[in-house]
């Protein structure tokens, strides 16, 4: 084994180094400003300023989950920084420590030669660190332009990626090198969590740091109240897109034969709002592993219809050594602005193969419409950032919609299918397993106007012995899991308790599981677990939409219309409860 000198986390804000490290970060003017102002700070008015700066940092740090670490890390900031300076410094600190974590993981990778599972973990970490770097730099950029909602979304993701690595390393925690790396990552996620909490407070209270406070959740009765008061149809894939390239099964007809080749042909680094690269995937079964990398933005998959255009794979964690849940995805998308319409994506590994993802997405502001996702455990990995699913069908059984994204599912059909292993014996299925780890993360799942049912086969099985076939709306994969079902139809298969614990009482006091005006035999609330909620009556329509918009995006063009009744006819009667 190679010996390494393990570094301590950077606890202070190192002024000089930051000018170099931050070059990629679009915050150069700020850093230069900070550098200059710090180097020119004088002693003449230090008393007044050091006191007021101390108060400012103290108030900002009080709003974090780890105020002690926050104060220590920012203690070398002076000259009366304003809240934006404080936040940018916290972001920079997170970024610098991420570089250190990266080099530790490289050391671990070098030391892992010949061990497949360790190598996989190390490589996965290095990959998510790259994503984390990218999102941190976007956070800083968005913040300096007053786009605080975007900053929250990006920093939430940056933190999630750091956590992902830590979480993966748990399974390789059998050397002191890994143990030390994990400890380092713990301090890194603390710094990132603190930066995120400050961004959240800046979004809620602006520069008035006296009002800043630790992140609260709906469970504490806290709702972000700035909704538009309207609620309706979300974004969609534009009609009549002209394909740039075509994928088909007929060799020699001038089209690509694999989806991946077509993706590879897309230009890199197109602006997020900019031109799309439209790939028409003709009817056919494409057996391949498709990856849309970070730099391929605005890629659009247009199929010829559900079950006509099918992308299929079978990678899985249960039967393949060195496979991870993340990598098992048949289609995995990271580039922002991804869209897909009219196709099926599946993972056919089967019910005994454990985690086997069909579709995984880290694509911010992605729109998926009229698509079908088929799998068993972990079908749809809505991993991070903001995603919109419209009129989709999602099929699975164990935790089959999961991840730590802000995802909105509208008009979707959610179907449980049998687990092949001894289906008659009975089982517990959770439809969702949202993975929010920090109360400041602006993530959550919202299901609006969806149908929760089983496939024909499953419902037959279910009705043969309803008592042993249990299906729950969700369970807390992580402590601050957040999921809401609104105006959805819940079939009989949903058990009266509604929601399922993960392990003992883990997360039960911190999660938020809400239901609002659902219908169907599974929607009866009388026997629900005490730790789930009905969206309370006092929460106005406006606050509810505020919650949804904060989860999804204010910058995204989500148009909500007011008060549509059963048949889509506007009902002007009330501001409350008429949607």
Ligand X SMILES: *[C@@H]1O[C@H](CO)[C@@H](O)[C@H](O)[C@H]1NC(C)=O
Binding to ligand X in span 157-176, by CB under 6 A: 170, 172-174
Window 66-95: contact mask with ligand X (x via CB under 6 A): ----------------x-x-----------
- CB of 48 or CB of 463, closer to ligand X: 463
* 240 near ligand X (CB under 6 A): no
- CB of 21 or CB of 248, closer to ligand X: 248
Residue 497 to residue 528: CA distance in whole angstroms: 4
Binding to ligand X in span 243-282, by CB under 6 A: 244, 267, 275, 277
* 205 near ligand X (CB under 6 A): no
State the nearest-atom distance from the C-beta of 448 to ligand X, in Å.
Answer: 16
DSSP-assigned letters across all residues of 203-272:
HHHTT-GGG------GGGT-------S-------PPTTPPPSEEE-SSTTSSSBSSHHHHHHTSPSS--T
- CB of 207 or CB of 464, closer to ligand X: 207
Determine which residue in the list 12, 206, 287, 322 makes contact with ligand X, applying CB under 6 A: 206
The answer to whether residues 473 and 512 touch, using CB atoms and an 8 Å cutoff, is no
Establish whether 150 is a catalytic residue.
no
Determine which residue in the list 24, 103, 253, 524 makes contact with ligand X, applying CB under 6 A: 524
Distance of CA 94 to the CA centre of its chain: 19
- The window from 137-145, 187-195, 523-531, 546-554 that contacts ligand X (CB under 6 A) reads 523-531
The answer to whether residues 438 and 480 touch, using CB atoms and an 8 Å cutoff, is yes
CA distances from 546 to 21, 222, 442, 541 (A): 37, 12, 12, 8
- CB of 33 or CB of 48, closer to ligand X: 33
- CB of 33 or CB of 179, closer to ligand X: 179
- CB of 208 or CB of 287, closer to ligand X: 208
Determine which residue in the list 118, 149, 297, 386 makes contact with ligand X, applying CB under 6 A: 118
Binding to ligand X in span 4-43, by CB under 6 A: none
* 574 near ligand X (CB under 6 A): no
- CB of 502 or CB of 560, closer to ligand X: 502
* Residue among 399, 411, 438, 575 flagged as catalytic: 399
* 179 near ligand X (CB under 6 A): yes
- CB of 482 or CB of 528, closer to ligand X: 528
Q: Is 368 exposed, middle or buried (0-12, 13-18, 19+ CB in 10 A)?
A: buried
State the nearest-atom distance from the C-beta of 302 to ligand X, in Å.
Answer: 12
Identify the three-state secondary structure at position 280.
Answer: strand
CA distances from 124 to 130, 167, 193, 324, 526 (A): 10, 11, 21, 9, 44
* 453 near ligand X (CB under 6 A): yes
Establish whether 399 is a catalytic residue.
yes
State the nearest-atom distance from the C-beta of 262 to ligand X, in Å.
Answer: 11
Residue 107 CB partners (closer than 8 Å, separation 6+): 2, 4, 177
DSSP-assigned letters across all residues of 76-132:
T--S---HHHHHHHHHHHHHHHHHHHHHHHHHHHHTTTT-HHHHHHHHHHHHHHHHH
Determine which residue in the list 39, 46, 207, 464 makes contact with ligand X, applying CB under 6 A: 207
* 526 near ligand X (CB under 6 A): yes
* 103 near ligand X (CB under 6 A): no
* Residue among 378, 438, 505, 575 flagged as catalytic: 378
Q: CA nearest 311: which of 328, 288, 334, 341?
A: 288
CA distances from 151 to 31, 163, 389, 440 (A): 18, 18, 22, 12
Residue 499 CB partners (closer than 8 Å, separation 6+): 472, 473, 474, 475, 513, 528, 529, 531, 532
Binding to ligand X in span 334-393, by CB under 6 A: none
**Largest CA-CA distance found in the chain, in angstroms, rounded:** 83
φ, ψ at 485 (rounded to 5°)? -110, 125
Q: Which residues bind ligand X (CB under 6 A)?
A: 82, 84, 115, 117-118, 170, 172-174, 179, 182, 206-207, 242, 244, 267, 275, 277, 451, 453, 456, 459, 489, 491, 524, 526-527
- The catalytic residues are 378, 399
């Amino acid at each position: 084994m190679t010996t390494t000198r393990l570094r301590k986390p950077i606890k202070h804000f190192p002024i000089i180094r930051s000018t170099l490290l931050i070059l990629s970060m679009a915050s150069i003017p700020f850093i230069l400003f900070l550098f200059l102002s710090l180097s020119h700070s004088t002693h003449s008015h230090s008393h007044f300023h050091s006191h007021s700066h101390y108060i400012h940092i103290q108030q900002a740090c009080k709003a974090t989950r780890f105020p002690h670490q926050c104060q220590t890390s920012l203690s070398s900031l002076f000259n009366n920084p304003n809240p934006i300076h404080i936040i940018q410094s916290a972001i920079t600190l997170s970024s610098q420590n991420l570089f250190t974590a990266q080099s530790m993981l490289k050391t671990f990778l070098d030391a892992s030669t010949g061990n497949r599972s360790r190598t996989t973990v190390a490589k996965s970490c290095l990959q998510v660190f790259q994503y984390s770097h990218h999102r941190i730099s976007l956070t800083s950029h968005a913040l300096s332009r007053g786009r605080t909602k975007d900053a929250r979304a990006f920093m939430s993701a940056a933190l999630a990626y750091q956590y992902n690595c830590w979480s993966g390393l748990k399974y390789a925690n059998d050397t002191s090198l890994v143990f030390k790396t994990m400890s380092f990552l713990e301090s890194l996620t603390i710094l990132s969590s603190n930066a995120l909490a400050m961004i959240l407070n800046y979004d809620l209270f602006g520069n008035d740091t006296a009002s800043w406070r630790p992140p609260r959740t709906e469970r504490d009765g806290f709702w972000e109240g700035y909704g538009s008061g309207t609620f309706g149809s979300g974004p969609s894939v534009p009609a009549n897109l002209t394909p740039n390239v075509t994928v088909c099964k007929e060799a020699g007809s001038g089209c690509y034969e694999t989806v991946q080749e077509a993706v590879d042909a897309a230009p890199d680094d197109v602006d997020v709002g900019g031109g799309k690269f439209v790939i028409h995937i003709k009817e056919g079964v494409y057996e391949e592993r498709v990856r849309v990398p970070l730099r391929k933005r605005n890629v659009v998959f247009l199929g010829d219809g559900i079950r006509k255009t099918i992308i299929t794979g079978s990678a899985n964690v249960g039967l393949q050594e060195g496979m991870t849940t993340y990598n098992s995805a048949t289609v995995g998308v990271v580039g922002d602005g991804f869209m897909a319409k009219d196709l099926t994506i599946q993972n056919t590994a089967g019910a005994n193969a454990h985690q086997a993802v069909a579709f995984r997405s880290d694509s911010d502001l992605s729109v998926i419409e009229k698509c079908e996702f088929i799998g068993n455990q972990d079908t749809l990995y809505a991993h991070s950032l903001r995603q919109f699913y419209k009129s989709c069908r999602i099929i699975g059984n164990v935790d089959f919609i999961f991840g730590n994204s802000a995802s909105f599912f509208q008009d979707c059909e959610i179907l449980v299918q049998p687990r092949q292993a001894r289906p008659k014996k009975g089982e517990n299925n959770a439809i969702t397993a949202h993975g929010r780890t920090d109360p400041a993360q602006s993530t959550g799942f919202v299901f609006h106007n969806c149908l929760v049912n089983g496939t024909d086969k499953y419902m037959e099985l279910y009705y043969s012995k309803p008592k042993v076939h249990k299906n729950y709306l969700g369970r807390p994969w992580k402590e601050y899991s957040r999921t809401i079902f609104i105006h959805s139809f819940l079939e009989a298969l949903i058990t009266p308790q509604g929601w399922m614990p993960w392990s003992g009482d883990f997360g039960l006091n911190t999660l938020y599981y809400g239901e609002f005006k659902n219908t169907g035999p599974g929607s009866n609330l009388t026997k629900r677990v005490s730790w789930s909620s009905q969206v309370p009556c006092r929460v106005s329509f406006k606050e509810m939409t505020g919650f949804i918009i904060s989860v999804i995006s204010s910058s995204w063009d989500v148009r909500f219309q007011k008060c549509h009744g059963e048949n889509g006819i506007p009902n002007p009667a009330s501001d409350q409860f008429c949607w």
